[in-house]
A and B are shown apart, each in its own frame.
Chain A
Amino acid sequence: MSRLAQRGGTAAATISTTALPMPSDDAICPVCKASRYWNSQVPMLMNPECYHKICKECVDRYFSHGPAPCPVAGCGKTLRRNRFRKQTFEDLQVEREIDIRKWLAGIFNRREDEFDSLKDYNDYLNQVEDWTYNLIQNIDVEATKKQINAYKEANQKDIAENVSLANQEHLTYEQRQAAEKQQARLRREAARREAEEERRIKEEGRNSILNKVASGEANLRDTNRVELKRASGRGPAKPQLTDPFLEDASKGAASPGFQIKGLKKRVQVAPEAPFDPFEGLLYKPQYHVVRDNYPWDFLDSTRKDIKHAAGGYDVAQYCARALCDAFSGLGVFIEDEIAAREGPPAPEVVEQAAAEAATSGISVDPKIKDDVF
């Protein structure tokens, strides 16, 4: 996939768009007229530039010194040796269509999960298929190519990302591990380089201050201020880092023609919160404080009792329990809980109840109505 994409990226834009050569007799090389009849070992090669078939010997001869025009009479397209290959399909139409599709598949590699809805994804696929059809049938080739290239320019980063995603899916575990290590190494190196750079700039700044002071050029205080400012500014010459997503988005908006609709906004996955063994259920009494010691003979005698101590009986736990029993009622707000459970009472209902009560002759305070006891 990646190799395809790379190859496609550089060369596949030059897949022949003119009429294909007429299916000629397979067996004869149009250049040297060597027939397979005489020499069955020599394979025939073709180039997706013009799809003319030439025998391998002629290819070696003609193109060993770099690009050269196609030797077939009346063609003259510039061909390179590395793009010559064996024909896969007997029908050159099919061969060409496959080439075009491979090239486009390398560019239009968006995945379904990148889209908001299935319809958006299908619209996108439909658009791609339209262009593919245009290229295959030679309809509006130039315009189509322009649009495709504009898309490619605008979405270079996404394309590369999806390519690497596809690669990752194929990688085995070990390979992935190795790649991660490599990435980490690169990151470390970058960080180190940055630190080095910073240090160098600082050093330079300090040296120049020292030089100036040494040569008595300037007042120390002024120099200091200016140079420090320069050092901390880290130089305006350094290219500013911009958000690649923003940049991409603006490019995409600027490029005319094709806009992909319904692409999901990319969300950065929030890093996992540190593990909490208590799961948020750490107990802390709100309305009382448990002290370490209470002056009470009973507790002291328990503490001193050897059987309690040896059995692991915990007097502090007893105190905590007693205090909890005594004060827990302070944390219960029944009215709040009822309000939270039922939500604000609907005024109509209350009025209705009051009206009913009035007609039946019993006076009911609407506030007490909730409380059965």
Chain B
Amino acid sequence: MAMALSPAQYIAASANDKAVVAKAKALTILSNNANSKPSTTTTATADLSEQLNEETRNRYEKGRKLGEGTYAVVFKGHLKSDPASLVAIKKIKINANYKDGLAMDAIREIKFLQELSHPNIIALHAVFTSKNLQLNLVLEFLPRGDLEMLIRDPKNVHYGLADIKAWMVMLSRAVYFCHQNFVLHRDIKPNNLLIAEDGEVKLADFGLARSFADPYEKMTFEVITRWYRPPELLYKARHYSGAIDVWSVGTVFAELILRKPWMTGTTDIDQIDHICQNCGTPLEENWPGVSKLDNYVPPAPSAIHPIPNKATWLGNFGTVGPQGVDLLRRMVTLDPSKRITARGVLEHEWWISDPRPTKKEQLPKKGGGEEKMGEDLKRTGRDFEADGRVDKVARKLFP
């Protein structure tokens, strides 16, 4: 796999080191197993891969169920050797559509997550199979919910420009890293942006990801949740690039500002209509070649929306300042070849303008359920400690 090698060149990247260390670990485990006697649980006849699998499975303790979807069940778990190291174990359900193989999503997720190691991308610690050959992914435990939860709760969660900037820069880093390693995520949306305990945003769900295609290799256009889908995919383009993810990032940006989804089409046609209204109607003048795309229907001259001017954008999204609006406009440029690249996003001046992005520890969080309880327990502990501390200080009589 070519991907495996690409991170090797990050100048200051720890990513590369980690990847190599992970592989080296796999090697040591392998060699240990080969040298030592088979463990008691495995039969002597079990082959090497089964032993390895057994080894990995025995390292983790599966806990209670956190949630269940059509595609997978998620459990909370931890390392047997260290109960404090929490992980999420995602058990892929055996899908009726893939009777004699693995679900495509699972394969994609494993294929890309095991290669990408970045602070803003969810970490895949291990993969093993349990009984009935069910696939289990051991993922980083991210207890703070997702960005969508924060956006949709204006009553309890208040955030400002610096917070939006902090979240956006973390998302942009993740997307830049994916594209730099030639991976298209193809499903960026707020509920795929999970939040770690320390506030770090992590891009998750690589079930639709793929690597960049060769020329003339056709890709599917049925990717990305509709509201976040760029016009070229709605026009059924078969050859596209990282620009599709940048569009999604732009719509997430707009959603963070508006605190509601920006362009909410009910069908694909309706979605195109929303895009025409908000970003202008795609025409040959503003997007050369668009009329040659499969699903393009020339609009009636009366229905043509001009590309909105700067003042209109400022009116709708002015809270992020003129530079932020400029970045948003570049992200949702109609013509994908003129759209800003993931690297261009990070080079934009908005990030270095005032205010500085909030530190991740200080970002707004949303408590709830188990996490809230955990927090409360922690707090009491701290208070006790503080009391003990005060007792040790010689009492000041005045003031």
Contact = CB atoms under 8 A, between A and B. Distances in A.
Interface of A: 1, 98, 101-102, 105, 112, 118, 121-122, 125-126, 129, 132, 272, 274-275, 277-287, 298-299, 302, 305-315, 317-318, 320-321, 324-325, 328-329, 331-332, 337-338, 341, 372
Contact of A310 (B119, B213, B215, B288): B288
Interface string B239-262: 111111000000000000000000
Interface stretch (B38-46, B77-85, B270-278, B346-354): B346-354
A122 B394 CA distance: 6
Q: Which of A279, A313, A324 has the most CB of B within 10 A?
A: A313
Interface bin, chain B: 35 or more
Nearest to A313: B239
27 contacts: A102-B399, A125-B394, A126-B394, A275-B357, A277-B172, A277-B173, A278-B346, A281-B177, A283-B9, A283-B10, A284-B9, A287-B9, A299-B215, A310-B292, A311-B232, A311-B238, A311-B240, A312-B241, A312-B335, A312-B336, A313-B213, A315-B215, A321-B182, A324-B2, A328-B2, A328-B6, A329-B5
B182 A317 contact: yes
Contacts, number: 158
Contacts of A307: 237-239, 289, 292-293
Contact of A280 (B12, B214, B394, B396): B12
Contacts of B240: 311-313
A105 B399 CA distance: 7
Given A283-B180, A310-B288, A313-B215, A328 B393 contact: no
A125 B242 contact: no
B239 A311 contact: yes
A281 B24 contact: no
B182 A324 contact: yes
B95 interface: no
Interface of B: 2, 5-6, 8-13, 15, 20-21, 24, 27, 30-31, 34, 118-119, 169, 172-173, 176-177, 180, 182, 211-216, 232, 237-244, 287-290, 292-293, 335-337, 339, 343, 346-348, 351-352, 356-357, 392-394, 396-399
Given A279-B173, A317-B212, A309 B182 contact: no
B198 to A, nearest CB: 15
Nearest to A287: B9
Contacts of B396: 125
B241 A302 contact: no
Contacts of A125: 393-394, 396
Contact of A302 (B216, B347, B392, B397): B216
Contacts of A313: 213, 215, 239-241
Contacts of B8: 328-329, 331-332
Contacts of B21: 341
A309 B9 contact: no
A272 B355 CA distance: 13
B173 A325 contact: no
Q: Name the residue among A312, A328, A341 with the largest chain B CB count within 10 angstroms.
A: A312
A111 B290 CA distance: 69
Contacts of A281: 10, 12-13, 15, 118, 173, 176-177
A333 to B, nearest CB: 10
Given A121-B393, A287-B9, A337-B24, A310 B351 contact: no
Contacts of A1: 399
B294 to A, nearest CB: 8
Q: Which 10 A-B pairs have the closest CB atoms?
A: A312-B336, A311-B237, A310-B289, A328-B5, A302-B215, A313-B239, A325-B2, A101-B398, A277-B351, A331-B8
Contacts of B20: 332, 337
Nearest to B237: A311
A312 B13 contact: no
A181 B172 CA distance: 36
A332 to B, nearest CB: 6
A278 B11 CA distance: 12
Contacts of B292: 306-307, 310
Nearest to A100: B398
Given A125-B394, A272-B356, 14 more contacts: A102-B399, A275-B357, A281-B10, A281-B173, A285-B9, A299-B215, A302-B215, A308-B239, A311-B240, A314-B337, A318-B214, A328-B6, A328-B8, A328-B9
Contacts of B215: 298-299, 302, 308, 313, 315, 318
A279 to B, nearest CB: 6
B324 to A, nearest CB: 13
Given A277-B346, A283-B9, A312 B244 contact: yes
B16 to A, nearest CB: 8
Contacts of B288: 309-310
A368 B358 CA distance: 51
